[in-house]
Amino acid sequence: MNSENEQEDFDIKPEQLKPEDAEAVVACFRSVYGDEYPIKIFYDAQSLVRANREAEYLTIVAKTATGNIVGVGNFVRSAPYRRLYEAAAGLVIKEFRNLHVNKRIWQFGYNEWAPKQRSLDAIFGETVCNHLIMQKAIDVFQFFETGLEVALMPAEAYSKERLNSGRVASLIVFRTYRPFQHEVFVPSVYKDQLVFIYSRLDDQRDFHFSEEALPSGTKTAFESKVFEFAQVARIFVQRLGADFETVLVDSENEFVDSNIKIIQVWLNLGVKSVGHAVDVCRSHGYFFGGIAPRWFNQDGILMQKVLTDPYFEGIQLYSDRGKEIFRMIREDWNRNS
């Protein structure tokens, strides 16, 4: 690196995206990924500006003293609850790597910027498990582990790094900014797992056992999302009805016909009959994935089904807590898959 870049390193400043910076963000993504990045909004400057204006994306850029953008981070609405954002789509251009640019972006985003945002109650992340670099920052940025998405991403997504030969798992992590105390109905089959995960929660909950049956005369309210590149399908179940098993089976049949490898069912732990829905999922080969605080504003529980090699041997975990969550999930997979 030349001396000019070395001088700029000392003056790198993260800030929220300005409309005039959007073209430079597109250039950053092209310099790192070519035209292959799966989230296409990062190749359309006007769409990115509009998404930021509507708070669907909240983009942080790292600028040098001369105004060059050398790094990007994003907070994205990807959960059913609109005030829960995912930390995602971060990068640093090649010439400025190993200069702590990424750390500065997220340090600013998590600790300075996020607490001031009225549209944001909590942040979650999906931390890849094919290396330990990102996991080492979990405690630094005051996040805590709540689950593990087995085989979430295809190996092809990380082909440049050549770090793995199988699908890549992601560790789910959360941080709360605006607390919301509410009721959680615990499925009895996962009592021990939830006691462990909730032991680190940075918010208050009122716990009860889920003992009610699925309500007769009520239809299940749900939304499905398919991520074709990742071969992942997600079902977000907002309201449970007597037809839940039919909804599950019909949805699964559609996904299998679409070459889906991973099916995730997200259930609302604020619903009294959630335990019965968990039992239905288990009877169809789904296994525990963890919890997602504030997923529906009320907490969610993840049930997952892997229709391919789960590639457990490729999962690398840094913390003892992450390793314990993985142990619980693998044990449940052994029982149900």
Residue pLDDT, tens place only, 232-253? 999 999 999 999 999 999 999 9
Distance between CA atoms of residues 226 and 262, nearest Å: 10
Look at the alpha carbons of 41, 44, 48, 51 in this order and tell me if their dihedral is positive or negative: negative
Instruction: Quote the pLDDT of residue 4.
Output: 46
| Burial 142-177, CB ≥16 within 10 A → b, else e | ebbbbbbbbbbbbbebbeeeeebebbbbbbbbbbbb
**Equal CATH topology for 1-120 and 182-315+322-336:** yes
- The class that CATH gives domain 182-315+322-336 is alpha beta
Query: What per-residue confidence (pLDDT) applies to 3?
Result: 41
Q: What's residue 9's pLDDT?
A: 53
pLDDT of residue 211: 95
- In the chain, domain spans: 1-120, 182-315+322-336
Nearest 5°: the CA angle 239, 299, 216 is 25
- Determine the Cα–Cα distance for residues 59 and 261; give it in Å rounded to an integer: 31
Instruction: Specify whether the CB–CB gap between 241 and 219 falls below 8 A.
Output: yes
Query: Residue 298 has what DSSP assignment?
Result: E
pLDDT under 50: residue ranges of the chain: 1-4, 7, 161
In CATH terms, 1-120 corresponds, of 3.40.630.30, 1.10.540.10, 3.40.720.10, 1.20.1260.10, to: 3.40.630.30
Residue pair 51/148 in contact (Cβ under 8 Å)? The answer is no
Tell me how far apart the alpha carbons of residues 107 and 93 are, in angstroms, rounded to a whole number: 18
CA dist., res. 116 & res. 106, Å (int):
15
Nearest to 84 by CA among 296, 229, 270: 296
- Could you tell me the two tokens for 101? 């640019």
